[in-house]
Amino acid sequence: MATPAPPAAGNTAYQTRSAPFFEISCYVSRGKCVGTGRSLMETELMQARDEVKKRIHELYEQGVPFFSKKVFQHALEQIEHCRNAPTPPNGAKAPIISMPTVDGRVVEYVLETGSVKPYHPDEWKDTEFVVGDPYLDYRAVQHLTRSDDIDLFDPDAAYSPTQLLYPLLVRDKATGEFLVPSDCASVANLREAFAAGVKSWEDSEDCKDLRSLLETRDRRLPKVSKIVAFACSTMAVVTDDEARRSRIIHQHALMLTLRDIFSRQQQQPGEGAPEIKCFAQDPSYTETDAAVLQETGITVLGDPRGFLEVDDESIVISFSPNIPVRQVIADIARPAVLAWNHVKSEPEEAAFCNCMWPGHGPEHFCDPGSSRLRDMVRDYYHEPVRLGPEKAFGEASVYIRRE
């Protein structure tokens, strides 16, 4: 029987058999660098790690960019080239994806897409993992220099803030069918839930406060031509957690509110409202999400296309992402507006992390602050305004660039 091609990451349109969403959507594998062949003892690894840690901090403090749109664009082109290239015959060399490091080298990753790995949980013995198309993984400065993961420390990838991550797709060994989430809302159901969520956000005091703050502001707002949201998450996967779904819908609804405010603000007398494009990037979106969001003018983009869209005329939205969105943005642009997790001072952030996860610091969180991020909001943005409610956005603020 012919084996179906592995579906694209984040695409759930290929449903053939059901499995719990979070069970199968959370498996990923980190791409491994083509190493130097060195096999280091643990003591050597620890020494190498300490040296790397020191050097990475130096490079960061010297202002070396850790993230760049050029690197993302080049990685995307290589991934797409590999996707479109014919699969090499057995034994032939697999395609290579190269990525620059912050210390001026280039590291290489062998494309693993299509390879098969065992799937461990006992209850799924008749299944296996198939490695899907890679997407980018973003390592904050704290992630590159974290002390406790000696097992995960890879001296070759250590200086690489942009790495590769592969989704692991679960396949039935006997039939070759892929297992995907079964509990996905229909387009009609999601459309209805989304409209109700947008209305409840628009009717809320928090939304009215935000509108009045931005609409009656005496200072001129910076020009905005697009809104790019990261990590707002799928709304289509049905969950019993109504609060979560409502939070996620409110995060998307915020895009529509900001689009409305800024396009009215920028409208010239006698002219139509200028177009403000809206984009959303999150690998968890399903086709249902994409269809419903498109109806409201929000286009879903695959990673890293959201980052490629971000420029100085953008509004960036991001709440509790699984990637260090704020550190990436601090390196690639000075967007007009930022609506994201409040940027805390170093001691405040350390205290917050310890309170959320006793004994753990910002390096154990996905979107930690950094000196560069703090400098950016201090030097380029007005005093932030808190964005509520906390249950929809977490501890979040809106930052407006000084003109």
Ligand X SMILES: C[S@@+](CC[C@H](N)C(=O)[O-])C[C@H]1O[C@@H](n2cnc3c(N)ncnc32)[C@H](O)[C@@H]1O
Name 366's Cβ contacts closer than 8 Å, sequence gap at least 6.
Answer: 320, 321, 322, 323, 324
- Pick one of 153, 159, 194, 319: the residue that binds ligand X (CB under 6 A): 319
Binders of ligand X among residues 265 to 294 (CB under 6 A) are 281-284
355 by DSSP, 3-state: which?
helix
Task: For ligand X, give the closer residue by CB, 181 or 222.
Answer: 181
Name 166's Cβ contacts closer than 8 Å, sequence gap at least 6.
Answer: 28, 29, 30, 31, 112, 113, 131, 132, 133, 134, 135
SS3 content of the chain, % helix, strand, coil (to 5): 40, 20, 40
113 by DSSP, 3-state: which?
coil
- 320 is an interface residue for ligand X by CB under 6 A: yes
* Tokens found for residue 113: 């897409």
Task: For ligand X, give the closer residue by CB, 318 or 370.
Answer: 318
Task: For ligand X, give the closer residue by CB, 59 or 131.
Answer: 131
- 247 is an interface residue for ligand X by CB under 6 A: yes
Q: Are the beta carbons of 129 and 117 closer than 8 angstroms?
A: yes
Binding region for ligand X (CB under 6 A) out of 34-42, 184-192, 230-238, 371-379 = 230-238
Task: For ligand X, give the closer residue by CB, 24 or 231.
Answer: 231
Binders of ligand X among residues 108 to 127 (CB under 6 A) are none
How far apart, in whole angstroms, are the C-alpha atoms of residue 212 and residue 23?
A: 43
- 232 is an interface residue for ligand X by CB under 6 A: yes
- 67 is an interface residue for ligand X by CB under 6 A: no
Task: For ligand X, give the closer residue by CB, 222 or 306.
Answer: 306
State the nearest-atom distance from the C-beta of 168 to ligand X, in Å: 15
**What does DSSP say about strands 28-30 and 162-172: parallel, antiparallel, or unpaired?**
antiparallel
- Pick one of 31, 197, 321, 335: the residue that binds ligand X (CB under 6 A): 321
State the nearest-atom distance from the C-beta of 151 to ligand X, in Å: 23
Helix axes of 242-266 and 205-215: crossing angle, nearest 10 degrees: 20
State the nearest-atom distance from the C-beta of 303 to ligand X, in Å: 4
- Pick one of 274, 322, 352, 380: the residue that binds ligand X (CB under 6 A): 322
State the nearest-atom distance from the C-beta of 265 to ligand X, in Å: 26
Q: Are the beta carbons of 197 and 150 closer than 8 angstroms?
A: no
- Pick one of 12, 145, 163, 233: the residue that binds ligand X (CB under 6 A): 233
- 251 is an interface residue for ligand X by CB under 6 A: yes
State the nearest-atom distance from the C-beta of 393 to ligand X, in Å: 7
Torsion, Cα 376 381 382 383, to 10 degrees, reads -30
- Pick one of 67, 178, 230, 399: the residue that binds ligand X (CB under 6 A): 230
Q: CA 37 → CA 19, 46, 140, 143, 156, distances in Å?
A: 39, 18, 26, 24, 10
Burial letters for 384-393: b for 16+ Cβ neighbours within 10 Å, e otherwise?
bbebbeeebb
Binding region for ligand X (CB under 6 A) out of 56-64, 198-206, 267-275, 317-325 = 317-325
State the nearest-atom distance from the C-beta of 277 to ligand X, in Å: 18
Task: For ligand X, give the closer residue by CB, 156 or 282.
Answer: 282
How far apart, in whole angstroms, are the C-alpha atoms of residue 115 and residue 401?
A: 46
How far apart, in whole angstroms, are the C-alpha atoms of residue 235 and residue 284?
A: 9
State the nearest-atom distance from the C-beta of 401 to ligand X, in Å: 22
Provide the binding-site residues for ligand X, judged by CB under 6 A. 230-233, 247-248, 251, 281-284, 303, 319-323
